[in-house]
Structure 1
Amino acid sequence: MNKEIKIALVEDDENLRFLVAERLHTEGYKVYEAANGDEAEKMIVEEQPDIVLLDWMLPGKQGSEVCANIRQKGFDKLIIMMTAKAQDIDKIEAYNFGVSDYITKPFNMDVLVALIDNKIKFSMSIEKTESYKFANMEHQPNTHTLIKDGRKVELTILENRILLYFLKNKNKVINREELMMEVWGYNADVNTRTLDMHIVRLRKKIEDNPDSPKYLQTVRGIGYKFVL
């Protein structure tokens, strides 16, 4: 499966770039490298890789700018942001400039490879046009978009995952642990408060009255249920 998969690796730290590229070659991926934003943008537009591994801090411009620029140019594949600081994750979550996922440095190579494998399986299993219609809304998970009453609402990475999981398990009681494992995966050292905060934000986007939710309901002491 990996043979045709192209990965663009954008990282200004030469040693790290070498290590990651070596490992990805070993895993059978085709790797293209760039050390700065301008180089990266040109390469990504030309090569159209399946996955972009993009460093948050780059000389000249930030990863977020590169990300926004290539999205504007119509690049719709996976972009995984590599970030060194925990606080950057908040920025990634807050500004939706088109990141599909992120991994924090220093990362374990096995975790990176697992994340990529997982992403590829996921992107191959979902149709580009996949969408879920419910009530007066439509969720398009590939572009992190929710269309409500004909208006486009941007979802963050995590809101997107949470909503997708609910839509795949509608009218089922989902306990918090299951949801956290599904959404954060191996990073499941998050606490339930964090999850609840994302639920609150998601409710603001889908519910007509977020204080008494019609769809995303709380099941006391257990978790949540997406009622349709």
Structure 2
Amino acid sequence: MSKEIKVAVIEDDENLRFLVVHRLKTEGYKVVEASDGEAAEELIMTEQPDIVLLDWMLPNKQGSEVCQNVRKLGFTNIIVMMTAKAQDVDKIDAYSFGVSDYVTKPFNMDVLVALIDNKVKFVINNEKSEVYRFGNMEHHPNTHSLMRDGKKIELTILENRILLYFLKNANTVINRDELMMVVWGYNSDVNTRTLDMHIVRLRKKIENNPDRPHFMQTVRGVGYKFVAE
């Protein structure tokens, strides 16, 4: 089945690039590739791929810079950052690079393909308009934004993932391990304190009184529950 979805693979490690490109072609994707930052920008703007897999560390220009530049030039499609360290994810959050999502290396090819297949649903079904409403808020997961009484609140990649998972599993008790797996992936070395810290930040953005949360409730000894009404 030809998905006719074009993926750009930007990676300077030749072996890894070869493996990713080969696997994606096998899955029926149309693939274009580049190995450094400058070539990447040109490729992205010329080819207009549906999804960009962009390495964080590149010769000539860092992935973050490439991302910022193509966003400034009006590229709006999905950009997934490939990063070697889970810790870098917070750096990705720290600036608004316009990254849609990320995957940490070393990644399992099946995990990467699943991530891309998941993104393809947005491209094909044009689910860019996917919106979740709760209280006086609207969550737009694809643009990492939250509208509260018409005002836009920026979410980091991790806050976005946490909130989206809560909204998809509203009124269900979610244990911490499950949440950490979904948000950071299974090869990560985060601890529950890191998760709790992100929950605190997120509460400040969505709760009227973060100390007595209405939406993101703590379930003692288990995890959390999102009460969506």
TM-score scaled by length of structure 2: 0.87
Give the 3 Å change call, closer, same or farther, for CA 178–142 of structure 1 in structure 2. Answer: same
Work out whether residues 121 and 127 of structure 2, in 8 Å CA contact, stay in contact via their aligned partners in 1.
no
Work out whether residues 173 and 225 of structure 1, in 8 Å CA contact, stay in contact via their aligned partners in 2.
yes
Work out whether residues 37 and 60 of structure 1, in 8 Å CA contact, stay in contact via their aligned partners in 2.
yes
**For residues 153-191 of structure 1, what are the alpha-carbon distances to aligned partners after superposition, in whole Å with 9 as ceiling and x for unaligned?**
111112112111222233333232333333334446543
RMSD across aligned C-alpha pairs, in angstroms?
A: 2.3
Equivalenced residues, count = 228
Give the 3 Å change call, closer, same or farther, for CA 108–193 of structure 1 in structure 2. Answer: same
CA distance in 1, matches of 2:62, 2:17: 17
CA distance in 2, matches of 1:135, 1:24: 41
**For residues 40-79 of structure 1, what are the alpha-carbon distances to aligned partners after superposition, in whole Å with 9 as ceiling and x for unaligned?**
2222122221210101112222101111222233323221
Work out whether residues 96 and 155 of structure 1, in 8 Å CA contact, stay in contact via their aligned partners in 2.
no
Q: Which amino acid aligns with 1:42?
A: E
Secondary structure of the equivalent of 1:153?
A: strand
Give the 3 Å change call, closer, same or farther, for CA 23–171 of structure 1 in structure 2. Answer: closer
Secondary structure of the equivalent of 2:128?
A: coil
**For residues 132-172 of structure 1, what are the alpha-carbon distances to aligned partners after superposition, in whole Å with 9 as ceiling and x for unaligned?**
22222211111000112322111111211211122223333
CA distance in 2, matches of 1:178, 1:107: 19
- 1:179 aligns with 179
1:27 Cα offset (Å): 2.1
- 2:21 aligns with 21
Pairing 1:2-21 to 2, within 5 Å after superposition = 2-21=2-21
Unaligned runs of 5+ in 2: none
**For residues 66-112 of structure 1, what are the alpha-carbon distances to aligned partners after superposition, in whole Å with 9 as ceiling and x for unaligned?**
11222233323221111223432221132231222222333333332
Q: Which amino acid aligns with 1:137?
A: M
Work out whether residues 3 and 29 of structure 1, in 8 Å CA contact, stay in contact via their aligned partners in 2.
yes
**For residues 6-35 of structure 1, what are the alpha-carbon distances to aligned partners after superposition, in whole Å with 9 as ceiling and x for unaligned?**
110112233332232222222221111112
Pairing 1:180-219 to 2, within 5 Å after superposition = 180-187=180-187, 190-219=190-219
Pairing 1:26-65 to 2, within 5 Å after superposition = 26-65=26-65
Unaligned runs of 5+ in 1: none
- 1:104 aligns with 104
CA distance in 2, matches of 1:89, 1:36: 21
CA distance in 1, matches of 2:101, 2:180: 16
Pairing 1:129-148 to 2, within 5 Å after superposition = 129-148=129-148
Q: Which amino acid aligns with 1:104?
A: T
TM-score scaled by length of structure 1: 0.87
CA distance in 2, matches of 1:107, 1:134: 34
**For residues 103-128 of structure 1, what are the alpha-carbon distances to aligned partners after superposition, in whole Å with 9 as ceiling and x for unaligned?**
23333333322332333346656721
Secondary structure of the equivalent of 1:128?
A: helix
CA distance in 1, matches of 2:113, 2:148: 36
- 2:158 aligns with 158
**Further displaced range: 205-214 or 104-113:** 104-113
Secondary structure of the equivalent of 2:103?
A: strand
CA distance in 2, matches of 1:94, 1:39: 25
CA distance in 2, matches of 1:197, 1:165: 17
Work out whether residues 219 and 225 of structure 2, in 8 Å CA contact, stay in contact via their aligned partners in 1.
yes
Identity of aligned residues (%): 75
